[in-house]
Amino acid sequence: MKHYIAAAAFSTVLASQGLAEEIITIPFDGSFDDATFAVESAIVGQGLVIDYVSHVGDMLNRTGADVGSDKQIFAAAEIFIFCSAKVSREVMEADPMNIGFCPYGIFVAEDDDGVMVGYRSYPDGPMQKVQTLLSGIVEEAVGN
């Protein structure tokens, strides 16, 4: 219980200091499958290894009825989970507690508005190196 209280307090502190994370999304002009291929290619193209692909859309669609909902949130959604040894070392040498931000994720989702690619923002300071990495990968994937 103490961990939950501490986490809630920490989240409140972050929000009050303007450090709350935001979700950054960029529309993708193409199909969901094309977007996932583009994101995967952009990550691997940076010399990074994708540790895991979370099939969030499938899970939400499969479990909706189990939790009493018939609302479809996404037609499809996947999160690519990975890390960068170089960038992670840099940000954790600056502050070992930056481990809490690792691994990093980029998502592809399709809803009623179309296909989007996104990631969460990171606080000012050393974690901006991660945000720059993610931004570059997403820009490459969406063709900007």
State pLDDT tens for residues 71-86.
Answer: 999 999 999 999 999 9
Question: Is the confidence at residue 116, as pLDDT, over 90?
Answer: yes
Smallest Cα–Cα separation from 134: which of 14, 65, 53, 48? 48
So what's the pLDDT on residue 21?
Answer: 75
Task: Give the pLDDT confidence of 28-61 residue by residue, as tens digits.
Answer: 999 999 999 999 999 999 999 999 999 999 999 9
Q: pTM to 2 decimals?
A: 0.83
